[in-house]
Amino acid sequence: MLVIAHSNYKVTHVTISSIENTEFLGQNIGFVIRAIAEKYPNTIVGWYDEQVKDSVNFEKIPELLNLKRKLISYNPSSNYFSPRIGYIEESPFINVNKKVTYPTWQMSSCVGAIHTDTILQFDFNFFKIQNFDYTLNSIAKHYQPLGLFCYSEPQLLHGEVNYKAVEASNCVLFQFVKQHYKFVWKYLLFLNVLLDEKKIVLLPFLKSCFIRKINYNTLLQFEEGLTERIGLKNETIDVIIPTIGRKKYLYDVLCDLRNQTHLPKNVILVEQNPLEGSVSELNFITAEKWPFVIKHSFTHQAGACNARNVALNQVESEWVFLADDDIRIENNFIKEVFVSISNYRTKSVSISCLQKGKEQVFKNVIQWGSFGSGCSFVATEVLNNCNFNMGYEFGYGEDSDFGMQLRNQGCDVLYLPEPEIIHLKAPIGGFRTKPILQWQMESIQPKPSPTVMLYIISHNSKEQLKGYKTTLFFKYYKHQRIKNPYDYFKMFQKKWNQSVLWANELKKAS
């Protein structure tokens, strides 16, 4: 392993296999890391700021960097970019939980590590930047959507650390936004700072107008996923399926599971029918023989959140496949997912689940900003403190909330473009009734939906909340009847306040 120490981005020590190297002393660390990667391929390079030299957990780095596609770093204090970055990005990668291994493109020069082979795949222009924090954040932001796995990793340090972090100026923040986001976001950043902080950041805004957007080489190739590994061959798995009024479609799903080359141990069905006096219609459960145990629960309480929670309490196996009752999968599906889980050393994946003929948006294995409650594999060991929040029942957001519960336990969610799940989007069951939500009788209807607001106030930063409000204000304008801007603003504020009110009620009840 190569270790580089720096102070104010200037190299102070270089250790190669425990031997001091004086060749690069005093040079910019970004340039040095690139130069060293060319001289020493197929090894790990770590860096640290002199402020934390006595706290770096060198022994842990090889274990933490168990994939070549990983970039890990840690900043025990504030992030390089101010919380203002939340005004323009709603993703879970902004509000970082620093207590656990957490997926984020927000990297730090404080301490970190990466494989030299991976460095050589990055465009050389990134390493011309004198500011190493900017280099790291720029690389992570650019390549994370292309398959680079980026993490805030607290295990890189041990003990209490007194670290004075470098923080980006407003000019640097606007430069970053101009280079890495669509052009409209720098205007929204300026507007949000003005509206929410009553500050005018005109000079940083104007300077960013002369910055060119990054359009560097985007090709990445990693060895992970190219060959099958033996791991997870004998792992047990339970399948969870909530169902309501889709007898025929559910039967097809069970037949697909019956034909798997890697069979599930249990299939846990939670059948719902809210009609009083109704009984199960799933006669094929006992009429046919199945190569797995079918655990069948019947309830008059409708709702996918409740049904999945009932099923989670019955899980016995090492893994869980959270499925829907209107999907189709190939015979090798479970086996192929386990191969990917082994390749990427992960404990949670969501799998491409599209209707026939729909084109995939994401072509690579990536760190996903969401979660699919009907198309995911999760290791049972990380489910102990997770459930489907009943505040989202009959609304939107329970998937994303569940994903955030996983991330806040240190479990990343990866997206797999293959093997694919075909989602039939079956029509709803004949006895399914539309629920009456608590706020439907209000004279002023909440906007956004209280369940959407519940997710935002539960997991996002205050800047993300305010940024979402500004964006929604402009998006919603063309979809409503009030065209007078002043009258529209007053009505929008009333609807927003209603949403906050009901979201807080849902939060209390959940």
Q: Is the pLDDT of residue 425 over 60?
A: yes
CATH, domain 237-423, list 1.20.1250.20, 3.40.50.720, 3.40.50.2300, 3.90.550.10: 3.90.550.10
Q: Is the pLDDT of residue 435 over 90?
A: no
How high is the pLDDT of residue 215?
85
Tell me which residue of 144, 155, 153, 127 sits closest to 29, measured CA to CA.
127
In the block, tokens 């805030």 appear at 152
**Helix, coil or strand: residue 498:** helix
For 109, list phi and psi in degrees, rounded to 5: -80, -5
How high is the pLDDT of residue 500?
98
pLDDT category of residue 276 using cuts at 50, 70 and 90: confident
**Helix, coil or strand: residue 114:** strand
Q: Is the pLDDT of residue 431 over 60?
A: no
- Mean pLDDT for the stretch of residues 401-420: 97
Percent of the chain with pLDDT over 70: 97
- Mean pLDDT for the stretch of residues 341-353: 96
How high is the pLDDT of residue 229?
55
pLDDT digits (tens, 9 = 90+) for 30-69: 999 999 999 999 999 999 999 999 999 999 999 999 999 9
- Mean pLDDT for the stretch of residues 383-395: 93
Tell me which residue of 16, 37, 12, 36 sits closest to 26, measured CA to CA.
12
pLDDT digits (tens, 9 = 90+) for 145-203: 999 999 999 999 998 898 998 999 999 999 999 999 999 999 999 999 999 999 999 99
How high is the pLDDT of residue 495?
97
User: Distance between CA atoms of 494 and 474, rounded to whole angstroms?
Assistant: 16
Boundaries of every domain in the chain: 2-156, 237-423, 450-509
Q: Extract the tokens encoding 277.
A: 């006096």
Opening angle at CA 311, ends 310 and 317, nearest 5: 140
Tell me if 386 sits within 8 A of 352, measured CB to CB. no
Q: What average pLDDT does the structure give for the chain?
A: 94
pLDDT digits (tens, 9 = 90+) for 306-316: 999 999 999 99
Burial class (CB within 10 angstroms; exposed 0-12, middle 13-18, buried 19+) of 431: middle
User: Cα 268 vs. chain centroid, distance in angstroms?
Assistant: 27
pLDDT category of residue 330 using cuts at 50, 70 and 90: very high
How high is the pLDDT of residue 232?
62
Tell me if 356 sits within 8 A of 295, measured CB to CB. no
pLDDT digits (tens, 9 = 90+) for 171-181: 999 999 999 99
Q: Extract the tokens encoding 43.
A: 């090894």
In the block, tokens 């939500």 appear at 437
Q: 3-class secondary structure for 244-305?
A: CCCHHHHHHHHHHHHCCCCCCCEEEEEEECCCCCCCCCCCHHHHCCCCCEEEEEEECCCCHH
Percent of the chain with pLDDT over 90: 86
pLDDT digits (tens, 9 = 90+) for 58-104: 999 999 999 999 999 999 999 999 999 999 999 999 999 999 999 99
Angle between helices 485-509 and 462-477 (to 10 degrees): 130
More confident residue, 19 or 263: 263
Q: 3-class secondary structure for 305-348?
A: HHHHHHHHCCCCCCEEEEECCCEECCCCHHHHHHHHHHHHCCCE
pLDDT digits (tens, 9 = 90+) for 473-482: 999 999 999 9
How high is the pLDDT of residue 429?
58
